[in-house]
Amino acid sequence: MAVDAAPDAPGGAHAHVARVFREESGKAVATLVRMLGDIDAAQEAVQDAFVRALEAWPRDGVPPNPAAWIITTARNRAIDVVRREATRESRYRGRAVIEGDDGTQADPASAVAEAIDQPVADDQLRLIFTCCHPALGMEARVALTLRLIAGLETRDIARAFLVPETTMAQRLTRAKRKIAAANIPYRVPSREELPARLDSALAVLYLVFNEGYAGTTDATRPDLAREAIRLTRTVHALLPEPETAGLLALMLLTEARRPARFDADGAVVLLADQDRTLWDGALIAEGQALMLDCVRRGRPGPYQVQAAIAAVHGDAARFEDTDWPQILALYDQLFALTPTAVVELNRAVALAEVRGPEAALALVDGLPLERYHLWHATRATLLDRLGRTADARAAFATAAELTENPAEREFLKGRAGH
């Protein structure tokens, strides 16, 4: 199917359906979940709308506002479902009405139509927090967010998690059943609940972005990264907490480097060797503006510190101009907030630039990350700088064996001399 086909050509219409599904299905599902109270029913209505689009758009042409067409069609489908259910119940109960907020009796389809016209942004936020409820495991949270909010197909989510499509479908089904069985509320958390719940939502969005920026099995998944940024923008617009701004800034500053990460042949280009004129200046400027606002608010958190590190890199026109002492100080601050071995590993990179590779290697050798490919890759780089070529090549080879990203594997194998 030609992605660049004219919108009114069959191929162009199908491409439009695929694009609108990715961009708008999450909004439609979120809206329908609110009024139906059932994730499966909402998904079914939205899926039906897109099936009808695949039938109608190639024949009639893409409508002027494709998103509105989808929302309206899904809306009508939901109203039809509620009307049929109410009619069926009336055969046994003798009526087909429900009570409105004022205690009066109203036609259920009319209530649905009224409910579905409420603001979409609030619905998306509610569904994000439903997907990211602490009662669900982290993998289930990420998978549900990708499926319901980002609109990814189950097969794509399965590929990201390295599991068969049937396995992922079962996980998604179990997660939705748990939401129903545990009566997980479809709402934005209360002020008292918000800190813990917001942290969970941001953690999921961060994982989604990382999968898109440096995928497990693909060299890069820009679609996932863009979805993570879009969703984080939504959360930040409605809940502009400092850590939300920090995460958005981190994503923007990191995404800005994407054009320089690979050469024309798809090979990895290290940060030190990247053509920084290819970096996206607009994303860098937006990310740095968010960081300045965070600094003024004076409530630092892990995402803000990571964004500050990315901002320092963004300030340097050349690798040689990087303010490594400032980056090392920021890593010290980050380790105080999140004292993990991975933070220490990243800190070692800055330490090598400030105090030399020997001090950094001593730090790396003490970290319990032997099954992490980047531990071996970092150690290999330090060994190479110290002139221990044979040891460096062996470490690069081990890193290549442990990574599942094909572009990284080829790069590491090259450094290992294979």
Task: Kindly write down the DSSP assignment for every residue of 123-170, as one continuous string.
Answer: HHHHHHHHHT-TTS-HHHHHHHIIIIIS---HHHHHHHHTS-HHHHHH
What is the rounded CA–CA span in Å between residue 352 and residue 355?
A: 5
Could you tell me if 62 and 127 lie in one domain?
no
Could you tell me if 179 and 267 lie in one domain?
no
The DSSP call for residue 104 is -
5 is a domain residue: no
Could you tell me if 230 and 276 lie in one domain?
no
* Cβ burial, residue 329 (10 Å; 0-12/13-18/19+): middle
Distances (CA, A) of 60 to 8, 9, 51, 146: 8, 10, 14, 31
pLDDT value, residue 85: 67
- Most confident range, picked from 130-134, 370-374, 377-381: 377-381
The DSSP call for residue 40 is H
> Which residues, in sequence order, are CB contacts of 334 under 8 Å at separation 6+?
302, 305, 306, 309, 343, 347
Could you tell me if 202 and 268 lie in one domain?
no
Which of 322, 345, 360 is the C-terminal boundary of a domain?
322
Could you tell me if 149 and 229 lie in one domain?
yes
Cα 219–Cα 222–Cα 227 angle in degrees, nearest 5: 135
Could you tell me if 132 and 232 lie in one domain?
yes
Q: Residue 106: phi, psi to the nearest 5?
A: -135, 155
Supply the range of the domain harboring residue 23.
Answer: 10-118
pLDDT value, residue 113: 46
202 is a domain residue: yes
Which of 191, 207, 236 is the C-terminal boundary of a domain?
236
The mean pLDDT of 313-323, rounded to a whole number, is 95
Q: Which residue has the higher pLDDT, 182 or 295?
A: 295
3 is a domain residue: no
Written as one letter, the residue type at 186 is Y
- Give the E-state strand segments of 307-411 in sequence order: none
Written as one letter, the residue type at 259 is P
In this prediction, residue 333 has a pLDDT band, given cuts at 50, 70 and 90, of very high
Which of 322, 355, 377 is the C-terminal boundary of a domain?
322
The mean pLDDT of 21-42, rounded to a whole number, is 79
Q: Which residue has the higher pLDDT, 384 or 190?
A: 384
Q: Which two tokens stand for residue 157?
A: 């989510």
Could you tell me if 230 and 267 lie in one domain?
no
> Which residues, in sequence order, are CB contacts of 164 under 8 Å at separation 6+?
158
Residue 382 has pLDDT above 50, yes or no: yes
Q: Looking at the 3D structure of the chain, how many domains does it have?
A: 4
Could you tell me if 102 and 123 lie in one domain?
no
Percent of the chain with pLDDT over 70: 85
Structure confidence by residue, pLDDT tens digits, 206-235: 888 887 887 655 555 677 788 889 889 988
328 is a domain residue: no
Could you tell me if 109 and 124 lie in one domain?
no
pLDDT value, residue 348: 98
Contact 376, 398 (CB under 8 A): yes
Residue 122 has pLDDT above 60, yes or no: yes
Residue written as tokens 């429900």? 98
Structure confidence by residue, pLDDT tens digits, 254-288: 999 999 999 988 889 999 999 999 999 999 999 99
Structure confidence by residue, pLDDT tens digits, 84-97: 766 655 544 443 33
Structure confidence by residue, pLDDT tens digits, 195-208: 677 888 898 888 88
pLDDT value, residue 218: 52
Q: Which of 207, 237, 241 is nearest to 224 (CA)?
A: 207
For the entire predicted model, the pTM comes to 0.72
The strand pairing partners of 99, in sequence order, are 105
What is the rounded CA–CA span in Å between residue 35 and residue 28?
A: 11
Residue written as tokens 């090598």? 352
